[in-house]
Amino acid sequence: MGERILLIEDDDALSRMMRIQLEHAGYQVTVCQDGASGLQAAHDSNPELVLLDILLPDIDGWVVCERLKNITDAPIIFSTALGSERDVIRGLELGADDYMIKPFSYKELLARVKAALHRARRTASHKVTYESGRLFVDLEMRTVKVSEERIFLTPLEYKLLAVLVQEAGHVVPHETLLRRVWGQEHENRRQYLKLYVWYLRQKIEADPSSPRLILTERGVGYQLVAPQQKCK
């Protein structure tokens, strides 16, 4: 049987067509038409991916996304008519793995679902513990500590740090980081990456103006120093 997908969508015709396409591609699909039933289904069925509308009749999708993060680690893809840059950024800030703007083709739907599931499997298969100087990261427990004090990161900050940890000691190109953290359609938006590297440095570096953990390879990308390399 294919991966389990939870579809939270109140448009009956659209949800029916999405379900047909996804099931034809081999996925198991559960459909809910409001936020409350979607949250209950997430709790009961342990989905491997969630497709989430924002304009739901009871609880809006922004709130549903936040609550889903307390229920499941499954990737979340917003599928919505809200298409402004502000909405896209808000969705990604809430921890969504991708953001599709209606109307979209079913080829796009299947491609994005496949990519999100692939990224989730890759993350699961690279569970590691990282320690270098003042920084400790346990990806399996989703724990980040600086000088033995636990710190809290936003979902996007954590995703970015997790990719850097998985590739520690190697320079990760800008486009690779953007694709793995924000999605393929954001490969050219380096301003997102630059801003979030700055956010991370504020939280983990002893002196963010002179970083010694997250290093810049000018014109190429960023590198997290190799584990156990002292950075006092």
Which pair of structure tokens corresponds to residue 3? Answer: 């991966």
Q: Quote the CA–CA distance of 139 and 130 in Å, as a whole number.
A: 8
Q: Kindly state whether residue 231 falls inside one of the protein's structural domains.
A: no
Domain that holds residue 98: 4-124
Which pair of structure tokens corresponds to residue 221? Answer: 């990308």
Instruction: Give me the mean pLDDT over the 144-149 stretch.
Output: 94
Please tell me whether residues 151 and 45 are part of one structural domain: no
Last residue of a domain, one of 107, 124, 141: 124
Into how many domains does the chain fold? 2
Q: Are 71 and 43 in contact (CB under 8 A)?
A: yes
The CA R_g of the chain, rounded to the nearest whole Å, is 18
Give the pLDDT of residue 124: 62
Please tell me whether residues 10 and 118 are part of one structural domain: yes
Give the pLDDT of residue 126: 59
Which pair of structure tokens corresponds to residue 103? Answer: 């109307």
Q: Which of 182, 211, 221, 215 is nearest to 75 (CA)?
A: 182
The amino acid present at 51, given as its one-letter code, is: L
Higher pLDDT, 71 or 216: 216
Last residue of a domain, one of 97, 124, 151: 124
Quick one: how far is CA 25 from the chain centroid?
23
Q: Kindly state whether residue 20 falls inside one of the protein's structural domains.
A: yes
Higher pLDDT, 124 or 12: 12
Higher pLDDT, 180 or 221: 221
Give the pLDDT of residue 229: 47
Instruction: Give me the mean pLDDT over the 1-8 stretch.
Output: 87
pLDDT tops 90 at residue 64: yes
User: Which of these ranges, 22-36, 46-60, 94-108, 181-195, has the smallest mean pLDDT?
Assistant: 181-195
Q: Quote the CA–CA distance of 80 and 94 in Å, as a whole number.
A: 15
Higher pLDDT, 196 or 122: 196
Last residue of a domain, one of 105, 124, 143: 124
pLDDT tops 80 at residue 127: no
Give the pLDDT of residue 230: 44
Contacts of 57 (CB under 8 A, 6+ apart): 10, 33, 34
Q: What is the pLDDT of residues 85-120, one digit of tens each?
A: 899 989 988 889 899 999 999 999 999 999 888 887
Could you tell me which residues are beta bridge partners of residue 135?
132, 146
Give the pLDDT of residue 113: 93
